[in-house]
Copies of this chain bind each other. A is one copy, B any other.
C-alpha cells in the first residue's frame, strides 16, 4: 500500500483541476473553503485523508456537487 492511495490522488487531482479552472491560488481557495492553506495543499497531493465534512466544504466553495469529485 503506497503512502498516497490512488483514490486519494485522484480526488486531489480533481480538486486541483476544479480550483485552477477558476483561476484561484491554493491560498484563495483555502480562504473560500475556510480551511488551512497547507491542508488544501496536502489534499490536492493526496497525502491527506479528508473527512466527509471537509469534502462537502470543498464542494460548496467550488460551487459544485460532491459528485463532481468522483465523476469522469
Where the two chains meet, the residues of A that have a C-beta atom closer than 8 Å to any C-beta of B are 5, 7-8, 11, 49-53, 55-56, 65-67, 70-71
Number of copies: 2
A60 nearest in chain B by CB position: B7
- Given A65-B70, A67-B71, A70-B70, are A51 and B53 also a contact pair (CB < 8 Å)? no
Chain B residues within an 8 Å CB radius of A71: 67
Minimum CB–CB distance for A34 against chain B, Å: 13
Chain B residues within an 8 Å CB radius of A70: 65-67, 70
Chain B residues within an 8 Å CB radius of A55: 52
3 closest Cβ contacts across the A-B interface? A67-B70, A66-B70, A49-B51
